[in-house]
């Protein structure tokens, strides 16, 4: 892969990642699943740095879905301990690297302590102007859309919006990512080729990239390969491809 193709003009502004395969990575090493999650946390640190180096504006990471609560209690408990530890450990680094940190998802189900920690890191990094790092915890696309519908319903009820005038823009503004652009590129690791209830609304025109690499093994070079694949694609948004001159009818 030539790194020359990764010129800012063609790079995605927003890269989204479904970080998958931690459990299988650990199983293959005869380790418990949580060992894979701890290795996965190290990958997060590396990829955040690489995204920053590549001038990506927004990096959104799927860390825990609403459906992941149905995993064994021990794994869920260990995952939330890992979030808390990583936040404490990373807070200073994020700030000194000019990263703006945000969490999306239904935080009301999280412990008060973790909610406070998240708010604290969001506040400390709120004025930063570098990479926007968005971590989705207790997030699902259907939750986000339902939540937006509920908020719009409240506006209709208090008379601040006329239901017959609601448009896509109004709806988008009620979603978790409202102020940020939709993802240009979605990367999913571990060989699975599905969305798993991630950003259902925002992925309308996102380019999809699947790799067999498990998340703990996902390297900076793997990330650049995904960017390179994106840079070579022709995004049409429902229009027609650019026609070479000799094919033009008039």
Q: Of these partners, ligand IPE, Mg ion, none, which one is at the site of residue 209 (CB under 5 to 8 Å by kind)?
A: none
Q: How far apart are CA 63 and CA 18, in angstroms?
A: 8
Answer for which of 12, 15, 20, 132 binds ligand IPE (CB under 6 A) is 20
- Nearest Cα neighbor of 168 from 187, 190, 145, 140 is 145
What value does the CA radius of gyration of the chain take, rounded to a whole number of Å? 20
DSSP 54: T
- Near ligand IPE in 100-129, by CB under 6 A: none
Say which entry of Mg ion, ligand IPE, none residue 194 contacts (CB below 5 to 8 A, set by partner kind).
ligand IPE
Residue 77 binding ligand IPE, by CB under 6 A: no
CB of 231 to ligand IPE, least distance (A): 25
Per rule CB under 6 A, is residue 63 in the interface with ligand IPE? yes
Say how far apart CA 70 and CA 242 lie, in whole Å.
47
Concatenate the DSSP letters of all residues of 185-229 into one string: EEEE-TT----TTS-TTTTTTPEEEE--S-GGG--HHHHHHHHHH
Which residue, 23 or 141, has its beta carbon nearer to ligand IPE? 23
Q: Contact between 20 and Mg ion (CB under 5 A)?
A: yes
For residue 126, the SS3 value is: coil
Tell me, residue by residue from 179 to 218, as one string, x for binding to ligand IPE by CB under 6 A and - for no binding: -----------x-x-x-x----------------------
- Catalytic site residues? 20, 68
Q: Which two tokens stand for residue 123?
A: 């506040």
**Interface contacts to ligand IPE, rule CB under 6 A:** 18-24, 62-65, 68, 79, 190, 192, 194, 196
**Interface contacts to Mg ion, rule CB under 5 A:** 20
């Amino acid at each position: 892969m030539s790194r020359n193709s990764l010129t800012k003009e063609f790079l995605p502004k927003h890269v989204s990642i479904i970080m998958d395969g931690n459990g299988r990575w650990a199983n293959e090493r005869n380790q418990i699943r949580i060992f894979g999650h701890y290795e996965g946390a190290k990958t997060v640190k590396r990829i955040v740095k690489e995204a920053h180096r590549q001038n990506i504006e927004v990096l959104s990471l799927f860390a825990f879905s609403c459906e992941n609560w149905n995993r064994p209690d021990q794994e869920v408990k260990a995952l939330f301990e890992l979030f808390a530890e990583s936040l404490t450990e990373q807070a200073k680094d994020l700030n000194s690297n000019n990263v703006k940190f945000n969490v999306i998802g239904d935080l009301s189900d999280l412990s008060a302590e973790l909610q406070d920690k998240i708010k604290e890191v969001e506040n400390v990094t709120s004025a930063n102007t570098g990479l926007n790092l968005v971590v989705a915890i207790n997030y699902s696309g259907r939750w986000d859309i339902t939540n937006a519908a509920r908020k719009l319903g409240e506006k209709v009820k208090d008379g601040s919006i006329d239901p017959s005038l609601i448009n896509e823009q109004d709806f988008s503004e009620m979603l978790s990512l409202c102020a940020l652009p939709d993802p240009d590129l979605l990367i999913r690791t571990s060989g699975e080729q599905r969305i798993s209830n991630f950003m259902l609304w925002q992925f309308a025109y996102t380019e999809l990239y699947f790799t067999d690499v498990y998340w703990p093994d996902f390297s900076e070079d793997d990330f650049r390969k995904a960017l390179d694949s994106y840079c070579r694609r022709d995004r049409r948004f429902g229009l027609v491809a650019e026609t070479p001159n000799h094919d033009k009818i008039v």
